[in-house]
Amino acid sequence: MSVTRDDVLAALKDIKDPASGQDIVSAGVVRALNVDGDAVRFVLEIAPSAAQAYEPVRADAEARVKALGVGTVSVVLTAHSKPSAPPDLKGARKAAPAGPEPVPGVDRLVAIASGKGGVGKSTVSANLACALAAEGRRVGLLDADVYGPSQPRMLGVSGRPASPDGKTILPMRNYGVTMMSIGLMTNEGQAVVWRGPMLMGALQQMLMQVQWGALDILLVDLPPGTGDVQMTLAQKARLDGAIVVSTPQDVALLDARKGIDMFNQLKTPIYGLIENMSTHICTNCGHEEHIFGHGGVAAEAEKLGVPLLAEIPLHLDIRKAADGGAPIVVSQPDSPQARVFRDLAKRLIADGIA
């Protein structure tokens, strides 16, 4: 069954906020609500010291939304002010600036977006970043997928980024890609409790307070959908354009269209679409089949008057490489699968996008 945003809010309104005595919706505790088909995600924004007290609230919220018949529910506790422990992500800048700002040192800021989850946006981002680096571009990758940051795993990066001055953060680096992920600021396998700025502020701070250095391009791997992170990115940072990843399935395309509409409203240029899982080539016999259909993204791109930038096959090696911490562009650079990403990188450079 499909649940609406209002259904979710109505269910959450029955839960009392321990701090204010109001319900958690009226008290402004429920933030970043994202209803994506059968999946519902939101955060509960609380005082940093109140994490334990709010765990029953979190569990109750999860249970109530689940009872609506939702497939997956993700509820994350976030803290809205800074702790005493480093890194101190606050303080380097005072009030939030009103309009979009350029990211210091970054020539081009490009979002990699998808309407629907699981279409391979992170896989595309990781491979594209590595392919651009292999072409000699100075490239950064910001993993802003707050609900499921996967770039540390895909790029084989672990550990906590250092903050020598307590104000700025030193990014990580692998395969020639400078990277930072919200996942590196949280403990793997633990419920995410933000011990720093609030979630949306975190995105702005990861853009502005990470020492990116001089970059030709910074790619931002966005969470799926059209939520607060996308809005924050477009409103706070000078975003040059967006690339939308979709599979050829109708349902993915429908969501991709919503994403495109959002970027149009935000006046962010769409550089083009990428069809992922476009065709499947059997690793045993070489037989080619179109598991999710084929050509849907090309038709959509034509309708929208934007280029189809790449058609990426569904291939076991792409998944294994991404899950193994060395994207296929790095681990098997001469394979036909890697070549698709390398051609994409060359095309973006030739078009002046990267």
Ligand X SMILES: Nc1ncnc2c1ncn2[C@@H]1O[C@H](COP(=O)(O)OP(=O)(O)OP(=O)(O)O)[C@@H](O)[C@H]1O
| Contacting residues toward ligand X, per CB under 6 A | 114, 117-123, 145, 148, 150, 224, 276-277, 312, 314-315, 318-319, 322-323
To the question of whether residue 120 is assigned a binding role by annotation, the answer is yes
Please state the closest distance from residue 75 (CB atom) to ligand X, in A: 17
Q: Does 118 carry a binding-site annotation?
A: yes
- Of the two residues 209 and 278, which places its CB atom closer to ligand X in the complex? 278
CA end-to-end distance (rounded Å), the chain: 42
- Estimate to the nearest angstrom the gap between the alpha carbon of 262 and the chain centroid: 15
Residue 289 C-beta: closest distance to ligand X, Å: 14
| 116 labelled binding-site residue | yes
Q: Which is nearer to ligand X, 65 or 256 (CB)?
A: 256
Tell me if 13 is assigned to a ligand binding site. Answer: no
Query: Taking the complex as a whole, how short is the minimal distance between the CB of residue 148 and ligand X, in angstroms?
Result: 4
Q: Compute the least distance from the CB of residue 209 to ligand X, in Å.
A: 24
Written in H, E and C, the secondary structure of the chain is: CCCCHHHHHHHHCCCECCCCCCECCCCCCEEEEEEECCEEEEEEEECHHHHHHHHHHHHHHHHHHHCCCCCEEEEEEEECCCCCCCCCCCCCCCCCCCCCECCCCEEEEEEEECCCCCCCHHHHHHHHHHHHHHCCCCEEEEECCCCCCCHHHHCCCCCCCCCCCCCCECCEEECCEEEEEHHHHCCCCCCCEECCCCHHHHHHHHHHCECCCCEEEEEEECCCCCCHHHHHHHHHECCCEEEEEECCCHHHHHHHHHHHHHHHHCCCCEEEEEEEEEEEECCCCCCEECCCCCCHHHHHHHHHCCCEEEEEEECHHHHHHHHCCCCHHHHCCCCHHHHHHHHHHHHHHHCCCC
State which residue, 87 or 183, has the beta carbon closest to ligand X: 183
As measured in angstroms, the least distance from the Cβ of 146 to ligand X is 10
121 is in an annotated binding site: yes
Residue 137 vs 315, nearer CB to ligand X:
315
Give 29 or 260: the residue with its C-beta nearer to ligand X. Answer: 260
| Phi, psi (deg, nearest 5) at residue 269 | -65, 140
Residue 167 annotated as part of some ligand binding site: no
Smallest distance from the beta carbon of 315 to ligand X, in angstroms? 5
Residue pair 47/81 in contact by the 8 Å Cβ criterion: yes
Q: From the CB of 341, what's the least distance to ligand X, in Å?
A: 10
Which residues carry a binding-site annotation for ATP? 115-122
